[in-house]
Structure 1
C-alpha cells in the first residue's frame, strides 16, 4: 500500500489498548477477574462469559473486534447479562468499571511511549487518546506510564462524546485543538477505530498490527497499516 501522511495532519489521536499498550499482557488477568465477578464466582460460567466476550479462557488471547477488544463497559456488561450473568446490567457496569480502573495499574507499553510522544510533539503534533475504556482508567494508565505532560486530550466511553465507532471522540479532539477533523490522524488496532476515523472525516486512518486486529480485519478500513506505533516517527519523517 503506497501512502504518505499528509502535511495537513497536525494532531494524532491514539486508541489505547492494543495500540499504546499490549492488549493481552495488560488486560488478560483483569478480564478474567471481571468475568468471574460477573459470574458471581461460578468458574464455569466465567469461562462462558470470557468466550462470549472474545477471550479464549485457555490461551488468554482476545479476538479482533470482539466485546473485550472493541466494546465499552456498558456494552460488555449487557453482553455478559445476555449470556448468563445473574447481575442487573447497571450494577455490573459499576463493578466492571471499578475492575478496569484497577487493571490500569499494570499497563504493558508497546514501546518507549514517552520517547515516542516527545518525538511527535517535537515535530509539532498534538497528541490525544480515545478509548472505549472509561476515562478514569485511561487517566490512571497515563499517570502510571508518566505521560501526563505529553497527552493533550483524553476521551473514554463515558466522557460525553459518544462511543466508538461514532465520530464524537475525533470531533471533540479537533474542537479541543481548534482544528478540522481532516487535520487529525486516528491510530488504532481495531475496525471500530478506523470506522470512527471515517465517520468523523479524519485526515488519516492508521491501523497497527500490535493489538487484536489483523491484517485481514484492518486492510480494507485503514489508509495504511504499520506494525506498531514505534513506526510512526518514520512515517512522519517521510511525509
Structure 2
C-alpha cells in the first residue's frame, strides 16, 4: 500500500450512485424501466435479456460491479441494449434514459443525511464536488432534493465537458475549479471506474465504499481504503483542514 499523507487532503470528489445513494434501492426499479422502454413491447423475455446484458440479474435484482448499469453513461447503456436486441436506436434510447434518470431522483435513497454530511465537511474547510456517469441535470436535481447543492464547489456529469470515467478529466476539472492539485484530492466511489479515474488523475487518496455494486473483492486492488459507507470519512480524515 502506498504511503498517504491524509493531512494534505483538502478536496473530496464523490461519485453519486452507489456512493451518495444506495444503489440497489435507488436504481433497481430504474434499470427495469430502462429495459421496458428498450424492449419496446417485446415482452418479459426481451426485457430480461436486456437487463442481463447491462449487468442486472432480473430475478435477484442485483447489479454486477463495473457493469454498464453500474458505471456506464446513458449513451453507453443505450448502446448495450441495442447490441443485446433492442429494436430502438441508441440515440433515441439515450434521450429517453437521460430524461428517466432525471425523474428517478425523486425515488433515490440516500446513504445518510446528505445535507448534514456535506455541511459538516464544508465547515471543516474541504472543497466538495460530485462527478458522476449520470447527466449533470440529474446530479443537480439529486443535490437539490437532498439539500446539499449549496455546499458543492463542482458538479460534473458525462455531458459536462470533462469526458467520461475512467478518464481523468472530471478530477482535473474539479482541481481547476477549486484551486487544488490532484494529490490534495480524495476520490470517493463504489466502482473501479471511479478508482481508475482517480488513479489516472494522480489523486492523493482513492476511497471505495460498499453501498453500491462493488464489493471488497472487486474494489480492494484499486483502493487505498475501503469503507462501509461515506460517513466513515468523517473519522478517517484529520479534523483540522485548510481551505
Question: What is the TM-score of this pair, normalised by structure 1?
Answer: 0.96
Distance in structure 2 (CA, Å) of the matches to 1:145 and 1:66: 27
Distance in structure 2 (CA, Å) of the matches to 1:224 and 1:238: 18
Distance in structure 2 (CA, Å) of the matches to 1:79 and 1:2: 36
Partner of residue 126, structure 1 = 127
Structure 2: gaps of 5 or more residues: none
Q: Which runs of 4+ in 1 moved over 3 A?
A: 1-5
Deviation of 1:5 after TM superposition, in Å, equals 5.3
Structure 1: gaps of 5 or more residues: none
Partner of residue 24, structure 2 = 24
Partner of residue 98, structure 2 = 97
Partner of residue 112, structure 2 = 111
Deviation of 1:238 after TM superposition, in Å, equals 7.0
**1:66-105 residue pairs with structure 2 within 5 A?**
66-105=67-106
* Maintained 8 Å contact 1:5/1:235: no
**1:1-239 residue pairs with structure 2 within 5 A?**
6-42=6-42, 43-237=44-238
Residues 5 and 145 of structure 1: CA distance in aligned 2, closer, same or farther (over 3 Å): farther
* Cα deviation 1:197-231 (Å, max 9, x = unaligned): 01101111011111110111111100111110010
Distance in structure 1 (CA, Å) of the matches to 2:103 and 2:50: 20
Residues 2 and 221 of structure 1: CA distance in aligned 2, closer, same or farther (over 3 Å): closer
Bigger mean CA offset, 181-190 vs 111-120:
111-120
Deviation of 1:191 after TM superposition, in Å, equals 0.4
* Maintained 8 Å contact 1:4/1:238: no
* Maintained 8 Å contact 1:3/1:223: no
RMSD: 1.5
